[in-house]
Amino acid sequence: MLSMTGYGECRVQNDRWSVQVEIRSVNNRHLKLVARISEPYVSLEAELERLVREKLRRGSIHVTLRIEPNRPVDSYRLNLAAIQAYREQYLTLCQDWNIYPPSDWLSLLSLPGIIQDHVSTGVSVHEDWPELSKIVEVAIDRLTESRRREGAAMATELLGYSAAIRAELQLVEARYPHTKSEFADRLRDRVGQLLEKYDITIEPEQLIREVAIFSERSDIAEEITRLRAHLSQYDEIITGKTSEGRKLEFVVQEMGREINTLGSKSLDVAISRSGVEMKSTLEKIRELIQNVE
């Protein structure tokens, strides 16, 4: 079982560049990628998404890919033409607005296009992707390992919840056979009191018919059988070799349907109490499986 929450990173630094990949994931019904990539490598987003989709199936994935080439001292150049153009426009504005021009023009150096990076302009982005993809894969593998560790903890907790539901279901199974006889006894006592009060008689067949109708309406044998089958499938999914979050959601939905029917059909207080406990545990399961891949 894999969680959809995790973190992975990989850093590589050599004579050529410094590369840092950070990947964070949170739960999402589908696979959604949000990428932040350093210039001039933004055009690699399609390749990055393709690689992520090969490795991951669900979750909201946030990838940060920082790439800093090791630039020599002489890699930066001032764009003198751009500086001159900015200065001339500035002087024109000063003349139009009737203000004095600045005595210090150093602020022009912070404007766009003034500093030219000859290393970045010479980068062959797509030729660098095979090497960059290996670094990204390491980060994804570490993310997956993080998700696997959290998934193992979730699996233990989810199996504990299914054991709790089984315990309540055993109480229901043990209690259920006694409900018919207890209903018959209560009905017989109540009818006896009415007969004595109003001095009337009733045929035994009528009493038997009422007990039979009650037994049919409150029969939860099928619900018990189906719920037990769903619990077995639930455990199989959790302990399986692949993480099946969507299938788990469907099985839990079916479990909820059986538990609701079981509680609504039974008029026994003890069975109703067990039904409430199973519903409470099922809500904990629903909340937790939202984070299962």
The predicted-structure confidence for 104-122, as pLDDT tens digits, reads as follows 888 888 888 777 665 555 5
Say which residue the tokens 């039974």 belong to: 266
Quote the tokens at residue 248: 């788990």
Q: Virtual CA dihedral for 142, 147, 153, 159, nearest 10 degrees?
A: -140
Q: Please identify every stretch of the chain with a pLDDT value under 50, giving residue numbers as ranges.
A: none
Q: What is the pLDDT of residue 276?
A: 95
pTM greater than 0.85 (yes/no): no
Question: CATH classification of 6-73+126-146, choosing from 3.30.1300, 1.10.357, 3.30.230, 3.30.60?
Answer: 3.30.230
Q: Virtual CA dihedral for 150, 151, 156, 158, nearest 10 degrees?
A: 120
Q: What is the pLDDT of residue 139?
A: 97
Residue of 19, 30, 206 whose CA lies nearest to 123 = 19
Q: What is the pLDDT of residue 124?
A: 77
Q: What is the pLDDT of residue 260?
A: 94
60: Cβ contacts below 8 Å, ≥ 6 apart: 4, 25, 26, 27, 28, 32, 34
> Which whole-number Å values give the CA distances from 243 to 27, 28, 147, in the listed order?
14, 15, 11
Determine the 3-state secondary structure of 60 from DSSP.
Answer: strand
Q: What is the pLDDT of residue 39?
A: 83
What stretches of the chain show up as alpha helix (H) in DSSP? 45-55, 80-97, 118-121, 125-198, 204-217, 221-238, 245-265, 269-289
Q: Virtual CA dihedral for 26, 29, 33, 34, nearest 10 degrees?
A: -60
Domain ranges for the chain = 6-73+126-146, 80-113, 150-289
Question: How far apart are alpha carbons 134 and 125 in whole angstroms?
Answer: 15
Averaged confidence pLDDT in the chain? 86
